[in-house]
Amino acid sequence: MTLRLFNTLSGQLDPLTPSDGKTLRMYACGPTVYDYGHIGNFRTFLQIDVLRRFLRLAGMEVRHVMNITDVDDKIIRNAAAAGVPIGAYTAKYEQAFFEDLEALRVERPEQIARATEHIPRMVELVERLAEKGAAYRTEDGSWYFRLAAFPAYGKLSKKDLSGMEDGARVDVDEYEKDSARDFALWKAAKPGETSWETSIGRGRPGWHIECSAMAMTYLGESFDLHAGGEDLMFPHHENEIAQSETATGKQFARHWMHVRFLLVDGRKMSKSEGNFYTLRDLLLKGYKASAIRLALISVPYGRQLNFTFDGLIEATNAIERLRTFRARLTDGAFAAGENPVLQAAAKQASVDYREALADDLNTAGARAPVFELVRSANTAMDQGQLFIRDRDAILAVLKDFDAVFDVIEDRDAEPTRRALAWAEQAGRMGDVAPELLARQSITDEQVDALLAERVQAKKQRNFARADAIRNELTQKGIVIEDSKDGVRWKRR
């Protein structure tokens, strides 16, 4: 099954295929580690995770490289303010970033590339450009890319630079550039700033050269796919193309994928708007990591997603339906045999699910056949018309669903526990929702003990006591389900 993925470069749906026929080589722009990640960041990484998981479900191998920008203006500024070396400053946020990815079940790329560990490769690339006359050094020792050297500039973002004036806005530090649009490849060291002594002088890399150099290091001069947030299309990706293709004379990435922005309550998320949320903020408010994951991936990557708390609740409830359903299948006792109607339904769901994803990663469309199967299987179970082979066929569909969505298997306790531990240590306990604390106040063993007592009470038809226990548990976020197969409970 081939994925047809919108290609920003061609402006149409193109099949995404590995040029070597085997392993898809992809590069995705990672974070700048100067703060905790917010949910907008994570929507992008989550959607790229959907991509790589689907490719592997479809039988493709993936070699995915992600950079970590661990040197830039903000980092230098913040580290200086905190009075620590940039390495110490970024290590904390890099670790937090990976913890957050883990909480959201985002798979680790095959290769992580830190900018500070690839300085020589960046310097080489600048030298290569200089040899071709596409890079020049200014008086202060910085290096710039000469836009005039790359006539195709603008082909990705479809910008016609000829109509654009060299703006009035000229950075005071950049007055020496040949043209206002020429961009920095290498920034000369300023006193006291972190810098590297290299053959092109003392300084530090520009942001764009970083990605070009690292992508080529791990994937070669030409590779299959480059992905990132839509905001990176211009100028970052455009600049990457210009410098890379000028240096090598080859096409840089064949396919470009851009994840659309996330809005919060219909507005772009920003600290000044007061609608800015990190993953940790949401976990402390009591939302589950799985719900956040599902909410952020259920709207296909090519569309803006309007994030709301109602959406998070919707996702929570949808996941509950799936989890309850699967528990019914795994806990129940079924007779041998099969129901041809369900066999056909499972097969159809599996096909429809994959086809939706293969169509430009239509996650919203892919959910539908799975939920349809849930309903028909629930109906069959109610009627005693679901058999062992049906159960197995349906569980296989759920497994495929989780291979990409990864929300049915309940792994929510750990991220919440870790967020609470972090809040404690970071002095953020005041941000923890009271309901979350109430939920944490009872252990699994205590729940089991109370439920055992309730079963006894019910047997003696002491419903007052039974209901009192249920109420007490409800207060602590425990939901009870009495079924023919026994009592099931879960945490809200």
Partner RNA sequence: GCACCGGUGGCGAAGUGGUUAACGCGCGAGUCUGCAAAACUCGUACGCGCGGGUUCGAUUCCCGCCCGGUGCUCCA
CA distances from 423 to 204, 277, 284, 432 (A): 35, 15, 8, 8
Binding footprint of RNA, residue count (CB under 7 A): 74
Is 267:307 a contact under the CB 8 Å cutoff?
A: no
Nearer Cβ to RNA, position 115 or 419? 115
How far is Cα 95 from Cα 84, in angstroms, rounded to an integer? 17
- Chosen residue from 70, 230, 245, 400 binding RNA by CB under 7 A: 230
* Window 463 to 482, contacts with RNA (CB under 7 A): 463, 466-467, 470, 479-482
CB closer to RNA out of 236 and 432: 236
Give the CA count within 13 Å in the CB-facing half-sphere of 182: 20
Nearer to RNA, 248 or 334 (CB): 334
State in angstroms the smallest separation of the CB of 457 from RNA: 8
Contact flag: residue 228 with RNA (CB under 7 A)? yes
Least separation in angstroms between CB 455 and RNA: 10
Contacts of RNA in 348-377 (CB under 7 A)? 356, 359, 362, 364-365, 367-368, 371-372, 374-375
| In the complex, least distance from residue 245 CB atom to RNA, rounded to whole angstroms | 20
Tokens representing 235?
């100028």
Q: Which is nearer to RNA, 310 or 445 (CB)?
A: 310
Q: Which of residues 390-449 bind RNA (CB under 7 A)?
A: none
Q: Do the Cβ atoms of 237 and 156 come closer than 8 Å?
A: yes
User: Pick from 483, 485, 486, 492: which binds RNA (CB under 7 A)?
Assistant: 483
The CA distance from 445 to 284, in Å, is 24
Compare residues 34 and 136 and give the one whose CB is closer to RNA. Answer: 34
Does residue 229 belong to the site contacting RNA (CB under 7 A)? yes
Residues numbered 89 to 148 that lie near RNA (CB under 7 A) are none
Binding mask 46-75 for RNA (x = CB under 7 A): ----------------------------x-
- The answer to whether the CB of 86 falls within 8 A of the CB of 389 is no
d(CA 39, CA 283): 11
Residues 191-220 that bind RNA (CB under 7 A): 207
DSSP 152: T
Q: 319 to 348, contacts with RNA by CB under 7 A?
A: 321, 324-325, 328
Of all helices (H) and strands (E), which one includes residue 480? strand 478-483
Please report whether residue 300 would count as binding RNA according to CB under 7 A. Answer: yes
CB 31 within 8 A of CB 37: yes
Cβ-proximal residues to 315 (8 Å cutoff; 6+ apart), any chain = 290, 291, 292, 294, 295, 298
Q: Which residues contact 10 (CB under 8 A, 6 or more apart)?
A: none
- State which of residues 220, 266, 337, 486 lies at the interface with RNA (CB under 7 A): 266
Q: In this complex, which beta carbon is closest to RNA, that of residue 18 or of residue 72?
A: 72
Q: Using alpha carbons only, what angle is made at residue 382 by residues 377 and 383, rounded to the nearest 5 degrees?
A: 95
The pair of three-digit structure tokens given for residue 322, joined into one six-digit string? 């799936």
Examine residue 232 and tell whether it contacts RNA (CB under 7 A): yes
